[in-house]
Amino acid sequence: MEVTGLTLGAVTLVSLFKHCVDLFSMITAARDLGKDAAILDTKLDVEKMLFLQWSDRVGLLKQDSTLLCNPDTRQLISRVLKSIKALLSEGQALQRDYGLKRIDESAESTTGYQGASSVRFRKFLKQFEELKIKSDADRHGSFKVSKQFRWITVDKEKFNSLIDHLSYFNTSLNNLIPTSSEAAASKNDLSNIKDLAELDLVIEVTSNTRPSVSEAAVAAKSAIISSRIVRSLWFRWYDYRRMNIKSPHFKTLQWALDPPSEYLQWDDLNTWLQSASGLYWLSGKAGSGKSTLMKYLHQHVNLGKLLFYALGKPEQKSQSGLLRSLLYQILHYDPSATEHALSHMWREACYNQSSPELEVPSIDEMATAVNVLCSTLHADKKIFLLIYGVDEYEGKDLDIARFISELESFPNLKILMNLQDLTKRDVAMYIQDTVASHPYIRSASHFPVDEITQKFAQKASGVFLWVILACRSVVEGCDDFCTITELEARVDELPKELEDLIEHMLESIDPR
């Protein structure tokens, strides 16, 4: 006889296994046992989970399972399953030896526990229904009366003996057909639990008896806490600037990863990318395509861990925003490092499970976390950091310079940094103090100070001496009572290169 491709022997095993699963489901703990009820339910559910895992590993419901072909093996498995069936269905023994009490199925004195086995149990029932097999109990009618009752635990000490017997039979099944470790399957099952208290119970009841299950529960708990912390580091605009940078035109910027040519020289970016660490400063004037080039590199450089940070929105321009973005990207890539990097936040997440939001760490805590990640946890990994728009940082220039300098010191980290001119604000302030404050300029109501400031910043390209000399030229024009048109002409005539500017000013000296 075959059912959907299964042999008679396989059908018998499947039917018997289904009967055992049903018997597992008829037992639960009484509510009046308090926390002990949850502990007992968890112990039973762990054994049920492992029982269902075994059926998956050996391919019990699969037509082409080769692990069940041996008749002797099937016979031994059948004996173990019959032992489990007898253990869970002998009413007098359950009451006398294992601390259970039979109640009407309609009674409400049970916990209604749904644990780690629930997802795998539903999957098993679905697959079983698809096979259209009647269980052993359905065919012989031996289970019809007992299905009217449920069993509740009233004596936890005796019930632990039942758990020990079930654990023994689960181990026997695994020994009959050695397969892959139960750790991976347990990790998958326990990942469906989202309640930390429930995972704590699993850890508690398995730490001494089922170490692989306990480790899987610890991993599942860590994943939940890590995810919660990483979500709290995220903020709406952390990736706004990069997303709004237009992609380069087709076939443009391909030269960036080629060696410099004899006609156009630059520090070989490709060579630097292959080096161990260090800082590469990508400079250029506004609108020259620096951001587009960085996005091109972000998309085309083949690296495992590449972080991109662009300052744009107010949240991004602060040191807190920079640190949050770096931590979010690193920990999103490697959540396992979260506990060590942000230990205080980790403890808060463990103890404060009811609060939906976690407090964002302080700047010092986040800076320390970045240091820990780069120096210890990821010491054997390479990190490539792209930072765009440092000139827009709304904080002390010394702070951001010190932070980038500290990052640069790590031998496993390299930084590609893009900025226009960190002295832009200083240029504007100097022009205000020298040109705009001149009495002649203050008396002129239409002098375009903002326009002059912008022109100076563009021509200076970060060379402050150029600004000083250029302002001196304009001030001299003010002293000579030049018209506004003449002053604007002075600005337009100023050469962009410092050497040319010095020569220009020397030639302009009055021979008197």
SS (H, E, C) 299-360: HHCCCCCEEEEECCCHHHCCHHHHHHHHHHHHHHHCHHHHHHHCHHHHHHHHHCCCCCCCCC
* Same domain (yes/no): 128, 146: yes
393 and 472 both lie in a single domain: no
> Distance (Å, rounded) from C-alpha 262 to C-alpha 272?
19
Among 131, 153, 179, the domain boundary falls at: 179
- Classify residue 389: in a domain, yes or no: yes
Q: Which of 162, 179, 196 is the last residue of a domain?
A: 179
Do 498 and 382 share a structural domain?
A: no
Give the burial string for 306-335 (b: 16+ CB within 10 Å, else e). bbbbbbbeebbbebbbbbbbbbbbbbbbbb
Range of the domain at 53: 8-179
Same domain, 173 and 94: yes
pLDDT < 50 regions, the chain: 1-2, 108-112, 136-137, 139-148, 304-306, 308-311, 422
Residues 175 and 51 in one domain: yes
Does 43 share its domain with 163?
Answer: yes
With respect to residue 512, please indicate whether it lies within any of the assigned structural domains. Answer: no
269 and 128 both lie in a single domain: no
CB-CB neighbours of 274 under 10 Å: 8
pLDDT score of 142: 45
458 is a domain residue: yes
The residue from 387, 403, 419 where one domain ends is 419
Q: Report the first-to-last Cα separation within the chain, whole angstroms.
A: 120
- CATH value at residue 317: 3.40.50
CA neighbor of 210 nearest in space, from 88, 84, 54, 43? 43
Please check whether residues 20 and 88 belong to one and the same domain.
Answer: yes
Q: What whole-number distance in Å separates Cα of residue 360 and Cα of residue 320?
A: 9
Structural domain includes residue 309: yes
Residues 255 and 312 in one domain: yes
Same structural domain for residues 385 and 447?
Answer: no
Question: Hey, what are 116's tokens?
Answer: 């780690």
The pLDDT value given to residue 306: 46
Report DSSP letters for 246-299, one per residue. Answer: PPPPTTTTGGGGSPPPSSS----HHHHHTSSSEEEEEE--TTSSHHHHHHHHHH
Do 439 and 298 share a structural domain?
no
